[in-house]
Copies of this chain bind each other. A is one copy, B any other.
Amino acid sequence: MDHNDRPDIDETDVAILKRVERDADVNLADLAAELELSKSAVHYRLTKLKDEDVITSISADVDPLALGLEMVVITEVSVAHESGYADEIGHALAEIDGVFQVYYTMGDVDFIVHSRVQNREQMNDLIDEIVTIDGVNETASTFVMKELQTNPKTVANMSTEMIENVVDGTE
């Protein structure tokens, strides 16, 4: 760990992360060959990255379309500011079925809520649920026509500059 309480990570770690965030099914031997390292070195680093919670989990990515979740809706939510229940409202929003992401923002809007549903009826129900939450003032929903990139990855989207900052520990 460095002075910022963030794990020390070097180029090799980044290479490993990039690879396993794309496909964690790869076996140790192949990974080791790709990185020109020994199996045990890769194993050692992988367990370290997991221990340090750089890798938080290994998960199967499920295609929403395969389950009929064809609609993505973005809802802007404004709350009654005097209430001061921002935290509770955020949690209530996150717990609604279909909601997969909730952002608490600094903008004119307080929350931005992302949800996935199968049809218009579910969409209406979901928006109703949001409005029903105590403290919610106003909502505005936008229908997503197309989403580029369904499974956002962390390392894959980083610039070389961002990666350098991590490797150096210079931020």
| Given A157-B99, A158-B98, residue A22 in contact with residue B106 (CB < 8 A) | no
95-117 of chain A: CB within 8 A of chain B: 97-107, 109, 112, 114-117
A127: Cβ under 8 A from any B Cβ: no
Bound-state CA distance A103–B117 (Å) is 16
B154–A116 CB distance below 8 A: yes
Closest Cβ of chain B to A8, distance in Å, is 11
A28: Cβ under 8 A from any B Cβ: no
B62–A155 CB distance below 8 A: yes
Closest Cβ of chain B to A45, distance in Å, is 12
A132: Cβ under 8 A from any B Cβ: no
Bound-state CA distance A146–B155 (Å) is 20
B145–A66 CB distance below 8 A: no
A94–B148 CB distance below 8 A: yes
Contact with B along A50-88 (1 / 0, CB 8 A): 001111111111111111110010100000000000000
Of the candidates B22, B117, B171, the one whose C-beta lies within 8 Å of that of A118 is B171
Of the candidates B59, B98, B142, B159, the one whose C-beta lies within 8 Å of that of A59 is B59
> Which chain B residue shows the least CB distance to A97?
B159
Of the candidates B69, B107, B166, the one whose C-beta lies within 8 Å of that of A158 is B69
B17–A62 CB distance below 8 A: yes
A103 contacts which chain B residues (CB < 8 A)? 72, 74, 144, 146-148
If A116-B157, A122-B159 are given as contacts, then 8 extra A-B residue pairs at C-beta distance below 8 Å, sorted by A number, are A17-B62, A22-B57, A56-B61, A59-B61, A90-B146, A104-B145, A104-B147, A106-B143
